[in-house]
Amino acid sequence: MELKTHLKFNPKFGRLVEINENGAKVVLETTEDMAVDEEGLVHGGFTFGAADFCAMASVNEPYVVLVRAKNCEFLAPVKVGDVVEFVGEIILKDKRKVDVKVVGTLNDIKVFEGIFGCVVLDTHVLKRKK
């Protein structure tokens, strides 16, 4: 299956490694420029961003957008050099609305979990009606 959305997403922030009709898998290889302190703690925004991309790839429609994130939990710290694997699974599909559960793990330890509410649009979200 081929990716149809977020085609310019920089793999530095999450690399798609698997995609199918029910979900996707994204890997985030953390780097020094993601750190927030001398200990190498990675900013949660990078974790969330990779999880968000995993949700978008799971839906895999050209004009999918995130409208909400529910029950997102950062369950363990991520540090520079860690490789986090995110697995997205579609848990609800109702016309244009799709909910995706995304779980991020690091060495079999769950570091992130959340539900991403997505909407599939007919055109790009930034296209204005005339």
Q: What pLDDT, on the 0 to 100 scale, is given for residue 106?
A: 97
Q: Where are the domains of the chain?
A: 11-120
Q: Is the pLDDT of residue 128 over 70?
A: no
Confidence of residue 130 (pLDDT cuts 50, 70, 90): low
Q: Write out the DSSP string of 16-76.
A: EEEEETTEEEEEEE--GGGB-STT-BBPHHHHHHHHHHHHHHHH--TTEEEEEEEEEEE-S
Q: What is the pTM of this model?
A: 0.95
Options 3.90.1150.10, 3.10.129.10, 3.60.110.10, 3.90.1200.10; which CATH number does 11-120 get? 3.10.129.10
Q: Is the pLDDT of residue 115 over 80?
A: yes
Q: What pLDDT, on the 0 to 100 scale, is given for residue 74?
A: 98
Predicted confidence (pLDDT) per residue in 34-46, tens digit: 999 999 999 999 9
Q: Write out the DSSP string of 79-129.
A: BTT-EEEEEEEEEEEETTEEEEEEEEEETTEEEEEEEEEEEE-SS-TTPPP
Question: Would you say 72 and 49 are in contact if contact means Cβ atoms under 8 Å apart?
Answer: no
Question: Would you say 105 and 129 are in contact if contact means Cβ atoms under 8 Å apart?
Answer: no
Predicted confidence (pLDDT) per residue in 5-54, tens digit: 999 999 999 999 999 999 999 999 999 999 999 999 999 999 999 999 99
